[in-house]
Amino acid sequence: MRGRGVGLEGEYDVAYAWRATAILVTLTLVVMYTEGMLVPSLPTIQKDMNISTADASWILSIYILMGTLSSAIMGKLGDMFGKKRMLMVTMITYTIGASLRGSQQTTECS
Residue 72 per-residue DSSP state: H
- Regions of the chain short of the pLDDT cut 50: 1-2
pLDDT for 1: 43
Selection from 106, 87, 110 nearest residue 98 by Cα: 106
Selection from 100, 97, 71, 96 nearest residue 86 by Cα: 71
Helix intervals (H) in 1-110: 14-49, 53-81, 83-109
Distance between CA atoms of 72 and 106, rounded to whole angstroms? 33
Q: How far, CA to CA in Å, does 22 sit from each of 26, 51, 107?
A: 6, 40, 34
**pLDDT tens profile 22-35:** 988 988 888 788 77
The pTM of this model reads 0.55
